[in-house]
């Protein structure tokens, strides 16, 4: 199983602008239903909000607010991408989505990459390295970009759960059995 | 002495002066100066704008403005774009066309937004208005290509046919052949919303060839890439062009054909379309990029490196619509390359994915706000935000007039501090003094509404979702936002008190939409009874609201001011609260 840490790790934040800009006497005048919200909770269980979130598991209606005609046009295209992938470019995939999780050794946050737009290990590895900003974060100790690229290895987890080296298998086999990717530093 | 001079001006002089006043707001102001100005103005108003088709009846408009040539009507509430307004709600244009057909044989322009247009309406337009020139249908539905055929066949002076984001029943692509061979006046054609598996390419080519004044052409997806060259070859004068599908097997002859034809389009300023893009064909448009002011790549599913290359070629870009594939890195390039950028819209490529599929965060928006001094309008979908970023954005870009931020997960807190985003949005309204439109998202308490009520004095439209704690939030907005015209709210804990306390405010606004909130049926009835110039409509698909206890919240509520009284074309799931009975079924 690919594991991934939650993005919710908070860095100690500074307390900017916590003073209220305006004090309103209305807080006392209007005797409204003022349930204090605990800010450490992302979601609150009020009776009406429970009702309004009743659709949540099924997906909220009209949220996020992307126009219906835009959603339709985009969905048709993502489907086209899949068809292209299945027909020839990448040899087809196990799941419906062509997006695969990518992790890098030592980096907490995982990324995602669209495997269907790649046709070789070279473009795939270069894209992943660009994604993790390797070319700017890791100084070129050895000299050329190519040499530096070789200091990283692309590994992948297949459907059986085994971790393998990507370039050891043909591209089509790799794409068909790929579940998730991990970029690691070459050792020796 | 001065008073005497004013009365001695002949009407024709005043009429001539008024002819220089085009904006509706100014025209409305002019008409309220005195009775004689009202009279002169109403006879010479040529363009009528009706922001809510139910606010006034067609007969009232015709009675007041006997000689208009152009009309613009808007129907459904904005949230209809997101499926929140059930089908059959209303917004029918036919009654308007029917009234105008008799009164205005010389009508030239009809512009509609979010209205139901039938083939019957289109046929009536084609038959009734001999000098008809402009038809713009924006987010409309209810018609088919048969109706379009009628327009094409009869409107000999048609200059503009613009179907943007409409739902059209595509019965046959041959409607285009109904434009007679003698017809040459087309200046603008937008058929990008049409589906059609087959398209009448030869009819389209012939049309483009003979309409030498064509300036805007937006094709639909059915037009393949290799046909574009043929079409563009006959229209090098185009200023705005929308491609069809932008994919094909990569062939050098197709590519060079395409690149050549784009090079000959010296006037091209706006590009759109780009469905199913294959990056290999993108460089074909490089010759026109340096002159582009508007680029719509919001359907282009290409990755950041290709987007960056493209955007770097467009230094004069003023308007960019793009998917979040552009990522923060692409927006940084945009910020450094496109110093004239005024409007940016970044749409989500995977709106329903639980995790981010691209590296697009608040950083991209910060980069563009810092780097583009003319940026004034933004629509941005992302998955995280911080107060710090919003404050930076507000301070660096006080010239925002439209700021719409959608953090995809409802109630998302500041990712750095885990606090609500009240302070960040507060900074936006405080620094951006000319802000006219604002959409909120993320974790927000009543405090953000306090800021909005205090500072957003020019705000005209506010969209709120999953925000606030209590009625106080709504009260801040209704009591503080002096310029507010449209307010739309969903899934917020706002109930009766703020609404009833600010009932009079609702008459100064165009409309209020509230869905999945806490407004009771009793409050709706009371509002309907006390405010005769407001139409209070309850939309509830669960059944009649009086079949539930009065204090039960209604599902959806739409309140708008109207001098036409309650409407009579409501479907079974809409109830109007009026002063007579408190409940009237349609």
Residue of A nearest to B409 (CA): A64
Q: A13 vs B426: CB contact, 8 Å cut-off?
A: no
Q: Is B72 helix (H, G, I), strand (E, B) or coil?
A: strand
Tell me which residue in A7, A22, A111 faces B450 most closely, judged by beta carbons.
Answer: A22
ipTM: 0.89
Smallest Cα distance from B359 to chain A, Å: 8
Chain B CB contacts of A15 below 8 Å: 417
B352 CB contacts (<8 Å, ≥6 apart)? A59
Assigned domain for A85 exists: no
Q: Does A49 touch chain B (CB under 8 A)?
A: yes
Tell me which residue in A32, A53, A60 faces B471 most closely, judged by beta carbons.
Answer: A32
pLDDT of residue B313: 96
Q: Give chain B's residues under pLDDT 50.
A: 582-586
Interface test with A, best of B417, B443, B499 (most A CBs within 10 A): B417
Average pLDDT over residues A136-159: 68
Chain B CB contacts of A60 below 8 Å: 410
Q: Taking a C-beta distance cutoff of 8 angstroms, is the pair B190, B216 a contact?
A: yes
DSSP B149-217: HHHHHH-TT--EEEEES-EEE---GGGGGGS-TT-----EEE-TT---SS--HHHHHHHHHH-TT--EE
pLDDT of residue A113: 81
HSE-CB at B22 with a 13 A cutoff on CA atoms is: 1
Interface test with B, best of A31, A62, A100 (most B CBs within 10 A): A62
Chain A CB contacts of B406 below 8 Å: 64-65
Q: What does each C-alpha distance from B52 to A40, B109, B440, B561 come to in angstroms?
A: 42, 18, 24, 9
Assigned domain for A32 exists: no
User: In terms of C-beta density within 10 A (0-12 exposed, 13-18 middle, 19 or more buried), how is residue B183 classed?
Assistant: middle
Chain A CB contacts of B420 below 8 Å: 39
The dihedral region occupied by B470, where left means phi > 0, alpha psi between -120 and 50, and beta the remainder, is beta
Query: In the predicted model, is pLDDT for residue A127 greater than 90?
Result: no
Q: B431 or A3: which carries more pLDDT confidence?
A: B431
Interface test with A, best of B490, B495, B502, B555 (most A CBs within 10 A): B490
Q: Taking a C-beta distance cutoff of 8 angstroms, is the pair B347, A70 a contact?
A: yes
Smallest Cα distance from A167 to chain B, Å: 24
Give strand ranges (E) for A25-177: 99-104, 111-114, 152-158, 163-165
Assigned domain for A10 exists: no
Tell me which residue in B299, B352, B355 faces A59 most closely, judged by beta carbons.
Answer: B352
Q: Does A135 touch chain B (CB under 8 A)?
A: no
Provide the β-strand partners of residue A101: A112, A180
Q: Does A134 touch chain B (CB under 8 A)?
A: no
Q: B443 vs A39: CB contact, 8 Å cut-off?
A: yes
Smallest Cα distance from B495 to chain A, Å: 9
Chain A CB contacts of B355 below 8 Å: 112
Smallest Cα distance from A64 to chain B, Å: 6
Residue of B nearest to A64 (CA): B408
Chain A CB contacts of B411 below 8 Å: 42-43
Query: What's the CA angle centered on B431, arms B429 and B437, to 5 degrees?
Result: 40
Tell me which residue in A24, A46, A66 faces B351 most closely, judged by beta carbons.
Answer: A66
Q: B83 vs A48: CB contact, 8 Å cut-off?
A: no
Joined tokens for residue A158: 């297949």
pLDDT of residue A163: 86
Assigned domain for A62 exists: no
Residue B215: is the preceding peptide bond cis (ω within 30°)? no
Cα maximum dimension of chain A: 74
pLDDT of residue A187: 64
Neighbouring C-beta atoms of residue A31, cutoff 10 Å: 8
Smallest Cα distance from B126 to chain A, Å: 27
Q: A112 vs B355: CB contact, 8 Å cut-off?
A: yes
Chain A CB contacts of B350 below 8 Å: 99
Q: A84 or B575: which carries more pLDDT confidence?
A: B575
Q: Is B391 helix (H, G, I), strand (E, B) or coil?
A: helix
pLDDT of residue A98: 67
- Report the number of distinct structural domains present in chain A: 1
**Residue for token digits 């900017």?**
A16
Tell me which residue in B352, B411, B472 faces A32 most closely, judged by beta carbons.
Answer: B472
Reported pTM:
0.79
- C-alpha B317/C-alpha B292 separation (Å) is 6
Q: Taking a C-beta distance cutoff of 8 angstroms, is the pair A115, A86 a contact?
A: no
Residue of A nearest to B168 (CA): A69
Chain A CB contacts of B242 below 8 Å: none
Joined tokens for residue A9: 């790790």
Chain B CB contacts of A117 below 8 Å: 303
Chain B CB contacts of A42 below 8 Å: 411-413, 443
Query: In the predicted model, is pLDDT for residue A13 greater than 50?
Result: no
pLDDT of residue A157: 86
Confidence of residue A149 (pLDDT cuts 50, 70, 90): low
Q: In CATH, what number is assigned to the domain containing residue A137? A: 3.10.20.90
Assigned domain for A181 exists: yes
Smallest Cα distance from A20 to chain B, Å: 8
Query: In the predicted model, is pLDDT for residue A108 greater than 60?
Result: yes
Chain A CB contacts of B450 below 8 Å: 20-22, 24
Assigned domain for A105 exists: yes
Alpha helices, H only, B32-160: 35-44, 58-64, 94-103, 119-128, 145-154
pLDDT of residue A158: 82
Q: B358 vs A112: CB contact, 8 Å cut-off?
A: yes
Smallest Cα distance from B233 to chain A, Å: 28
Between A and B, how many CB-CB pairs are < 8 A?
Answer: 158
- C-alpha B485/C-alpha B74 separation (Å) is 14
Tell me which residue in A37, A67, A73 faces B82 most closely, judged by beta carbons.
Answer: A67
Nearest Cα neighbor of A102 from B356, B324, B416 is B356
Query: What's the CA angle centered on B201, arms B199 and B205, to 5 degrees?
Result: 145
Q: Does A16 touch chain B (CB under 8 A)?
A: yes
Which range among A69-78, A83-92, A94-103, B410-419 shows the weakest confidence by mean pLDDT? Answer: A83-92
- C-alpha B161/C-alpha B20 separation (Å) is 27
Chain B CB contacts of A70 below 8 Å: 165, 298, 347
Kindly report, residue by residue over B50-63, the tens digit of the pLDDT.
999 999 999 999 99
Assigned domain for A173 exists: yes
Residue of B nearest to A59 (CA): B352
Q: Does A61 touch chain B (CB under 8 A)?
A: yes
Smallest Cα distance from B60 to chain A, Å: 33
Residues of chain A with pLDDT > 70: what percent? 46
- C-alpha B329/C-alpha B316 separation (Å) is 20
Residues 80-119 of chain A whose Cβ lies under 8 A from any Cβ of chain B: 80-81, 99, 111-112, 114, 117
Smallest Cα distance from B65 to chain A, Å: 35
Range of the domain at A106: 99-185
Smallest Cα distance from A69 to chain B, Å: 7
Chain B CB contacts of A73 below 8 Å: 221, 275, 299
- With residues binned 3-state (H G I as helix, E B as strand, rest as coil), the percentages for chain A, rounded to 5, are 35, 15, 50
């Amino acid at each position: 199983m690919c594991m991934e840490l939650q993005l919710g790790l908070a860095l100690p934040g500074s307390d900017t602008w916590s003073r209220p800009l305006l004090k309103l006497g209305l807080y006392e005048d209007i005797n409204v239903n003022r349930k204090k919200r605990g800010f450490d909770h992302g979601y609150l269980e009020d009776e009406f909000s429970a009702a309004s979130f009743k659709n949540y598991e099924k997906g909220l209606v009209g949220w996020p607010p992307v126009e219906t005609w835009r959603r339709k046009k985009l969905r048709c295209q993502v489907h086209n991408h899949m068809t292209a992938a299945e027909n020839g470019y990448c040899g087809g995939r196990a799941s419906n989505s062509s997006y695969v999780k990518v992790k890098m050794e030592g980096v907490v946050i995982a990324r995602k990459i669209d495997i269907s737009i790649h046709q070789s290990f070279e473009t795939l590895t270069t894209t992943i390295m660009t994604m993790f900003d390797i070319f700017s974060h890791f100084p070129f100790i050895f000299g050329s970009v190519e040499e530096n690229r070789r200091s990283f290895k692309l590994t992948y987890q297949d459907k059986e759960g085994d971790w393998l080296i990507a370039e050891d298998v043909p591209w089509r086999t790799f794409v068909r059995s790929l579940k998730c990717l991990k970029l690691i530093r070459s050792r020796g | 002495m001065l008073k005497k001079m004013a009365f001695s001006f002949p009407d024709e002089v005043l009429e001539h002066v008024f002819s220089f006043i085009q904006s509706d707001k100014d025209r409305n102001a002019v008409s309220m100066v005195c009775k004689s100005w009202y009279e002169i103005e109403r006879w010479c108003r040529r363009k009528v704008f009706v922001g809510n088709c139910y606010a006034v009846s067609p007969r009232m408009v015709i009675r007041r403005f006997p000689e208009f040539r152009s009309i613009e009507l808007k129907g459904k509430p904005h949230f209809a774009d997101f499926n929140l307004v059930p089908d059959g709600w209303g917004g029918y244009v036919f009654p308007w066309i029917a009234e105008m057909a008799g009164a205005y044989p010389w009508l030239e322009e009809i512009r509609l937004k979010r209205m139901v247009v039938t083939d019957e309406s289109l046929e009536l337009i084609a038959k009734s208005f001999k000098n008809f020139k402009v038809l713009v249908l924006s987010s409309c539905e209810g018609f088919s290509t048969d109706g379009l055929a009628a327009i094409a066949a009869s409107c000999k002076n048609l200059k503009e046919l613009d179907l943007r984001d409409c739902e059209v029943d595509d019965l046959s692509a041959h409607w285009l052949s109904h434009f007679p061979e003698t017809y040459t006046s087309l200046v603008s054609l937008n058929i990008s919303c049409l589906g059609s598996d087959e398209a009448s390419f030869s009819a389209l080519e012939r049309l483009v060839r003979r309409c030498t004044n064509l300036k805007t052409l937006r094709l639909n997806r059915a037009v393949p890439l290799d046909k574009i060259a043929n079409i563009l070859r006959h229209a090098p004068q185009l200023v705005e062009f929308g491609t069809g599908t932008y994919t094909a097997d990569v062939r050098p002859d197709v590519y060079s054909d395409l690149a050549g034809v784009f090079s000959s389009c010296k006037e091209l300023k706006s590009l759109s379309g780009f469905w199913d893009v294959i990056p290999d064909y993108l460089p074909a448009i490089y010759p026109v990029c340096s002159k582009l002011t508007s680029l719509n790549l919001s359907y282009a599913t290409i990755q950041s490196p290709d987007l960056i290359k493209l955007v770097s070629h467009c230094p004069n870009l003023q308007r960019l619509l793009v998917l979040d594939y552009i990522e923060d890195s692409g927006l940084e390039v945009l910020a450094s390359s496109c110093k004239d950028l005024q409007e940016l819209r970044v749409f989500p490529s995977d709106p329903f994915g639980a995790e981010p599929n691209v590296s697009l965060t608040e950083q991209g928006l910060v980069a563009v706000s810092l780097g583009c001094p003319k940026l004034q309008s933004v629509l941005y979908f992302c998955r995280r935000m911080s107060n710090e970023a919003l404050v930076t954005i507000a301070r660096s870009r006080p010239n925002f007039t439209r700021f719409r931020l959608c953090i995809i997960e409802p109630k998302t807190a500041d990712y750095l501090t885990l606090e609500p985003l009240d302070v960040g949005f507060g900074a936006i309204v405080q620094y951006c003094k000319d802000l006219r439109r604002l959409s909120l998202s993320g974790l927000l308490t009543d405090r953000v509404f306090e800021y909005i009520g205090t500072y957003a004095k020019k705000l005209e439209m506010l969209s709120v979702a999953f925000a606030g704690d209590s009625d106080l939030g709504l009260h801040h907005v209704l009591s503080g936002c002096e310029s507010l015209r449209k307010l739309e709210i969903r899934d917020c804990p706002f109930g009766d008190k703020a609404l009833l306390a600010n009932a009079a405010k609702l008459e100064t606004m165009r409309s209020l939409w509230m869905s999945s909130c806490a407004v009771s049926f009793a409050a709706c009835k009371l509002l309907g009874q006390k405010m005769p110039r407001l139409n209070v409509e309850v939309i509830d698909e669960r059944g009649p609201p009086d079949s539930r206890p009065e204090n039960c919240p209604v599902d959806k509520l739409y309140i708008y001011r109207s001098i036409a009284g309650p409407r009579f074309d409501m479907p079974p799931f809409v109830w109007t609260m009026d002063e007579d009975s408190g409940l009237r079924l349609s």
